[in-house]
Chain A
Amino acid sequence: MNPDTTRPTDEIVDVLIIGSGASGAAVAWSLADTKMRILCLEQGDWIKPTDFPSNGRDWEARRYSDFDISPNRRKRDTDYPVNDDNSPMKVANFNGVGGGTILYTAHYPRMHPSDFKVKTLDGIADDWPITYWDLEPYFTENDRMMGVSGLAGDPAYPPHQPNMPPIPLGKTGTRHARAMNKLGWHWWPSDISVASTDYEGRAKCINLGHCTPGCAQGAKASTDITYWPLAIRAGVELRTRCRVREITTNEQGMASGVIYYDANGEERFQPAEMVILAANGIGTPRLLLNSASARFPNGLANSSGLVGKNLMLHPWPQVFGYVDEEVDGDRAPMTVMWSKEFYETDPARGFLRGYTLQFSRGTGPANEAITSMAAGRLPWGKDHHKTYRNLLYRRMQIGIACEDLPEEHNRVTLDPVLKDSHGIPAAKIDYTISENTRRMMEHAIARASEILTTAGAKNLFASRTALNSPGHLLGTARMGTDPARSVVNEWGRSHDVKNLFIVDGSVWVTSGGVNPTSTIQAIALYIADQIKQRLANLFD
């Protein structure tokens, strides 16, 4: 029911999805075969391939402007601000059709089986109510939809078969691999959602450079070119430049729809039989907290008090070094291989849980100068040119995905002052890195330094929270069977509001030590399947 009859009301839909990114696209596509009327509201635009930076000579500069990973610097009119002053990790996202998949590196590891049993195995945090094996068919389905390049046979993972051959090792990967073999440590070509061959209408990778700020070739999988064309063809409606302000509820405590601002800035009411949140680990709790009402005074779906809490961001140290020959630089996808040597818990290391070492290539001419200048490696003045030429294309780097454990004091709340361009209260995050994670980070930095030194790199540099750190957004509406200790149940339905579902990274119980996109999408497909199997009594 429209709470204000002066506000225009749209025609009711069966399913309303908020957000068109990694999870929203997957759930929309999966539900399309129900023939229900499905609408997705997305606050951003479609991004045309010709909009991506690699089309122009300013391609590196645009990483610091309209394709910056921080919404606070990017400041597109489709972005919303996030107060991340009280956090050493900064928020990364993108608002547009495809969401964060527009602006990610395409490194595509799955979570490991042990990641779902943290409490049982290591006595910390909580177990998930689902297992790797519950998700396994959805990982496979999602891989097929997104298109994953990689190599079967990794001893660090249960068997799975990537869709395309791996991205070449190149000079950089060869050098990393040789060092890992000298040390006797595990490595394997990464699963990457970049097409190494032509795939399902997508042209293969032609090595445009750093994949993060979008792929003009379309070789990188983003949901605007994978899931969405199929979902739309199957009848799903996707409405862009529509920013949701709040989810409304009726007398029965069920979600009745949303109030949103359309592309013209007009406030409208969209009624719906079912609402699915796919707005990421910041946007989702923000919306739930902004949907507080007399019936739900602490925010919607928040009887546990856990909406916004347990924010996990994946602290991501990076270690660089420079070798005495030119390697791949930016002339290839950034990520090349991973190591799981230190992934599973070994208490002798002084911390619980573990991390992935993510081996990367270098960076482009401008970014090499900018980052080296900021780190003090590159001087101004007469020595600039000579020093620069000893850095360019010689960088080898290792990023480290540290498992971040849930802690309630790490949280998303509503900022009392900051608002977006529609006057909607913005999110504020408070976040600290735990002592366990700090010990893990130091261990990882030492190992990465050892690897780079073995690879012949010198002039090493480690950043503990990287410039443009990834800020994966997880955990703020966790999944569980106990309504007092979780926000949604084991198939994504709110404990409190029985026609409200959450499918994004908010539902994560723990974070694993991997980039989350593959698992986020597998969970979204799993929840969609749960919905389809329970349609007869979905809201009971």
Chain B
Amino acid sequence: MPAAPTPDLTQAEAHDLRRLAGFMIPASPEFNVPGADDETIFADIIRSLGRDTKDVRTALGWLNAMSDGKFADLPEQRAEIIAMALLNQESSVITALGRAVLQCYYRDDRIYRSIGREPRAPFPKGHTLEQGDWTLLDAVRGRERMWRDVDGYGT
């Protein structure tokens, strides 16, 4: 699949990121959802890199080094092993990469519907919140004063 051109990433970086995104969150027939390499979702990821662009490029640089510059051409199984090795590193760079993908994946209409959420902004409709069981507070209402009456103002 060709990667969309972007002012922030080179064509090769965008291509690698798209393949990597497909390993991060693959499509799932079971849940009827696309992967993070889906054309619409990936375009959103690229468009929204923003403050994470530098870290994402760093991560892609690491990926490039781990795959001898051939990530795009590696067989599926080998590419997945390298992708997971990258993603399993504990680093703020990897956290940023994850955030860049997840924040877009989990606002796509299809994903929202799959998790039972209406695809819309919170405002203006908001949500409904049930009152809950206020009788539970009866167990606390009768307690003795707990605050320390340090100034002699207690009743």
| A residues lining the B interface (CB < 8 Å) | 52, 54-61, 64-65, 73, 75, 112-114, 116-117, 120-121, 131-133, 151, 153, 155-159, 167-171, 173-174, 177-178, 181, 186-189, 205-209, 216-217, 328, 331-332, 340, 343-344, 365-366, 368-370, 373-374, 380-382, 384-386, 389, 392
Determine if B129 and A157 form an interchain contact, defined as CB atoms under 8 angstroms apart.
no
**Quick check: B145 and A155 within 8 Å, CB to CB?**
yes
Contacting pair B123 A174 (CB below 8 A)? no
With known contacts A56-B121, A370-B102, A380-B84, A207–B129 Cβ distance under 8 A: yes
In the complex, what residues of B have CB within 8 A of residue A116's CB? 150
Segment 96-155 of B: residues with Cβ below 8 Å from A: 98-99, 102-107, 111-112, 115, 117, 119-134, 136-137, 139-141, 143-151, 153-155
Among B25, B123, B153, residue most surrounded by chain A Cβ atoms (within 10 Å): B123
Q: Which residues of A contact B137 (CB under 8 A)?
A: 151, 177, 188-189
- Given A174-B133, A340-B146, list of 11 further CB < 8 A pairs? A60-B106, A120-B150, A155-B144, A168-B131, A187-B140, A206-B126, A207-B128, A370-B99, A373-B102, A380-B25, A381-B24
Q: Of B11-19, B27-35, B71-79, which stretch is located at the interface?
A: B27-35
Q: What number of A-B contacts does a CB cutoff of 8 Å give?
A: 187
Q: Is B42 interfacial (CB-CB < 8 Å)?
A: no
CA distance A363 to B155 in the complex (A): 41
Q: How far is the CB of A341 from chain B (nearest CB, A)?
A: 8
Inter-chain CA distance A471–B28, complex, in Å, is 40
Q: List 13 A-B contacts (CB under 8 A).
A: A57-B107, A59-B122, A113-B150, A117-B151, A155-B140, A181-B139, A188-B137, A206-B127, A331-B129, A370-B102, A373-B98, A381-B24, A385-B31
Residues in A whose Cβ lies below 8 Å from that of B23: 380-381
Please measure, in the bound complex, the distance between the C-alpha atom of A389 and the C-alpha atom of B84, giving whole angstroms: 21
Contacts of B84 in A (CB 8 A): 380-381
| Residues of B with C-beta under 8 A to A392 | 115
Partner of A365, one of B115, B123, B132: B115
Main DSSP-derived SS at the B contact region: loop
Report whether A131 and B130 are in contact in the complex, using a CB–CB cutoff of 8 Å. no
Scoring A133, A158, A328 by chain B CB atoms within 10 A of each residue's CB, the highest score goes to A158
A112 to B148, CA, bound (A): 8
Smallest CB–CB gap between B89 and chain A, Å? 12
In this complex, the member of A121, A157, A208 whose beta carbon has the largest number of chain B beta carbons within 10 angstroms is A208
Q: Let me know if B26 is at the binding interface, CB within 8 A.
A: yes
Q: How far is the CA of A385 from the CA of B106 in the complex (A)?
A: 11
Assess whether A64 is in contact with B129, with CB atoms less than 8 Å apart. Answer: no
| Contact among B95, B104, B121, B123 with A217 in the assembled complex (CB-CB below 8 Å) | B123
Nearest-CB residue, chain B, relative to A189: B137
Cβ distance A454 to chain B, nearest Cβ, rounded Å:
13
- State in angstroms the CA–CA spacing of A54 and B127 once bound together: 12
Task: A157 to B148: give the CA distance in the assembly, Å.
Answer: 9
Alpha-carbon separation in the docked complex, A385 to B154 (Å)? 55
The interface residues of chain B lying within 8 Å CB-to-CB of A186 are 140, 143, 146
Nearest 9 A/B pairs, CB to CB: A169-B132, A206-B126, A331-B127, A174-B132, A366-B106, A216-B123, A61-B103, A207-B127, A208-B122
| Contact of B26 with A382 in the complex, beta carbons under 8 Å | yes
Distance between Cα atoms of A373 and B91 in the complex (Å): 12
CB-CB under 8 A from B141, the residues of chain A are: 153
Q: Is B48 an interface residue (CB 8 A)?
A: yes
